[in-house]
């Protein structure tokens, strides 16, 4: 009798099917798996949605545009610039022309730079007669022709970042890496290792870091709280890129580094989304890498995500967050209009691919 009573009161007996591996994955067709939890908010078509992060974040931007949602791009190319040229110069890849932001530390520093509270000691890279932005080295093919052009573009970029921070309704950030290269002088984080694509590597000036899960969580929380301090009604969606590292500087097998990196990012995402209100985790990482799909969503290089994998992620994102009937959560500041969605988005841009040349 005691055993029977104990069994009947077992808390697992009242759990939904999604809580059981066999029911949720083995007995569910792979194409129908949606591991996302019910969110605390939905995204209306009128909500201004901003994105930043690793390469995989660009898929969300494309889907928002294709579904008729308001993808917020405060930094657009001049109207007279042909669309193909705008794509070449990375307009529309993310909400502002900041390129890939792989780590929360890089994101946090971007905000402080845009608001004038952090000025890195290393301000520009000059190669021949061309000027390059160390923190956006690939957004301007062949660099800028002179210092004045470089500084003017950066001023415009920072203004766009401030608009993004202050006017977006929803901010989506995709965590990509824990590995980074930083300045030994002031800890400024570079999106790619100096000397890999642009710049010149100098071990006396740069050092490799591999951020811990706690450092990543702290940086992510500070970055999101920075936005909320200036935009109290903003909502957040945090994701982790499923794309493995293209190379590691940690002097070990790239598989081990990838496993560590994704685990640390996932832990950080869990801690921060649990701690902040209106901050949701979306499991794009789990959808692509989960054992239930038997590796079907990776291409032959075991790294690139196949279109059907992207489609599965975006279908789940739409089911979880997109609401065509809802209105925007709150109007933006009086007298300011939300920039309409971009009609042109780039092919997927990945700064990390500059490391391929080093193989």
Classify each residue of 121-145 as buried b or exposed e, where b means 16 or more C-beta atoms within 10 Å of its C-beta.
ebeebeeeeebbbbbbbbbbeebbe
Average pLDDT for the chain: 89
State how far Cα 162 lies from the chain centre.
Answer: 18
Which residue bears the tokens 């006396």? Answer: 204
Take residue 221 and report the two structure tokens written for it: 């929380």
Residue 61 has what pLDDT? Answer: 87
Confidence of residue 117 (pLDDT cuts 50, 70, 90): very high
Separation CA 302–CA 2 (nearest Å): 52
8 pLDDT exceeds 60? Answer: yes
Q: What is the pLDDT of residue 42?
A: 97
The DSSP letter of residue 26 is: I
Distance of CA 256 to the CA centre of its chain: 22
DSSP state of 50: E
Helix (H) or strand (E) holding 7: helix 2-8
The dihedral sign for the CA sequence 1, 15, 265, 277: negative
Q: Does position 331 have pLDDT exceeding 50, yes or no?
A: no
Six-digit token string for 291 = 């054992």
Angle formed by the axes of helices 104-114 and 213-230, to 10°?
A: 30
Average the pLDDT over 147-157 and give the result. Answer: 96
Residue 301: pLDDT above 50? Answer: yes
258-276 residue pLDDT tens: 999 999 999 999 999 999 9
Per-residue pLDDT tens digits for 202-216: 999 999 999 999 999
CA distance 164 to 159: 9
Name the residue with higher pLDDT: 334 or 23: 23
> pLDDT digit string (tens) for 120-137?
999 999 999 999 999 999
What is the domain partition of the chain in residue ranges? 35-117+153-339
Please check the confidence at residue 330 and state whether its pLDDT lies above 80: no
Residue 212 or 1, more confident: 212
Ranges 3-7, 202-206, 319-323: which has the least confidence: 3-7
Q: Which pLDDT does position 4 carry in this prediction?
A: 57
pLDDT at 341: 37
pLDDT over 70, % of the chain: 88
pLDDT of amino acid 338: 40
Task: Indicate the CATH number of 35-117+153-339 among 3.20.20.10, 2.130.10.10, 3.40.50.1010, 3.40.50.1110.
Answer: 3.40.50.1110
Length of the chain measured in residues: 359
Q: Name the least confident of 177-181, 338-342, 346-350, 355-359.
A: 338-342
User: Is residue 79 scored above 80 in pLDDT?
Assistant: no
Report residue 193 as tokens.
């290792």
What pTM does this model have?
0.90
Closest CA to 357 of 193, 218, 238: 193
Angle of CA points 237, 242, 245, to nearest 5°: 125
Identify the residue with better confidence: 333 or 73. Answer: 73
pLDDT for 92 equals: 85
Backbone angles phi, psi at 149, to 5 degrees: -65, -40
Cα distances from 345 to residues 59, 63, 181, 281, 314, in angstroms, run 10, 10, 29, 25, 16
pLDDT of residue 197: 85
pLDDT confidence of 85, banded at 50, 70, 90? Answer: confident
E-assigned strands of the chain? 43-44, 49-53, 125-127, 130-132, 170-175, 179-183, 189-190, 206-210, 235-240, 279-281, 322-323
pLDDT-derived band of residue 350, with 50, 70 and 90 as boundaries?
Answer: low
Binned at pLDDT 50, 70 and 90, residue 358 comes out as low
């Amino acid at each position: 009798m005691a055993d029977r009573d104990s069994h009947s009161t077992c808390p697992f007996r009242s759990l939904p099917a999604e809580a059981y591996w066999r029911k949720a994955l083995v007995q569910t067709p792979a194409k129908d798996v949606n591991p996302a939890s019910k969110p605390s908010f939905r995204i209306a078509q009128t909500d201004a949605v901003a994105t930043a992060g690793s390469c995989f974040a660009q898929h969300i931007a494309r889907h928002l545009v294709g579904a008729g949602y308001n993808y917020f791009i405060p930094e657009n190319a001049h109207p007279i610039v042909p669309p193909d040229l705008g794509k070449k110069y990375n307009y529309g890849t993310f909400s502002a022309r900041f390129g890939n932001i792989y780590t929360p530390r890089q994101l946090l520093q971007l905000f402080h730079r845009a608001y004038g509270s952090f000025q890195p000691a290393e301000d520009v890279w000059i190669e021949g007669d061309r000027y390059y932005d160390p923190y956006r080295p690939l957004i301007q093919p062949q660099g800028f022709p002179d210092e004045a052009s470089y500084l003017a573009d950066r001023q415009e970029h920072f203004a766009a970042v401030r608009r993004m921070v202050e006017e977006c309704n929803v901010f989506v950030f995709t965590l990509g890496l824990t590995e980074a290269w930083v300045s030994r002088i002031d800890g400024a984080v570079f999106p790619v290792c100096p000397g890999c694509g642009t710049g010149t590597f100098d071990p006396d000036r740069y050092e490799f870091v591999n951020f811990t899960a706690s450092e990543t969580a702290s940086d992510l929380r500070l970055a999101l709280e920075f936005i909320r301090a200036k935009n109290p009604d903003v909502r957040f969606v945090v994701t982790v890129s499923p794309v493995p590292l293209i190379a590691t500087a940690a002097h070990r097998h790239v598989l081990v580094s990838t496993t560590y990196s994704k685990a640390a990012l996932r832990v950080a995402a869990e801690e921060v989304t649990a701690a902040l209100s209106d901050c949701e985790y979306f499991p794009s990482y789990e959808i692509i890498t989960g054992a239930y799909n038997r590796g079907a969503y990776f291409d032959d290089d075991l790294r690139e995500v196949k279109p059907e994998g992207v489609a599965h992620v975006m279908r789940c994102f739409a089911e979880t967050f997109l609401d065509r009937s809802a209105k925007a959560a709150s109007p933006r500041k009086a007298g300011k209009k939300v920039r309409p969605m971009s009609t042109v988005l780039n092919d997927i841009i990945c700064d990390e691919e500059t490391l391929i040349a080093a193989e």
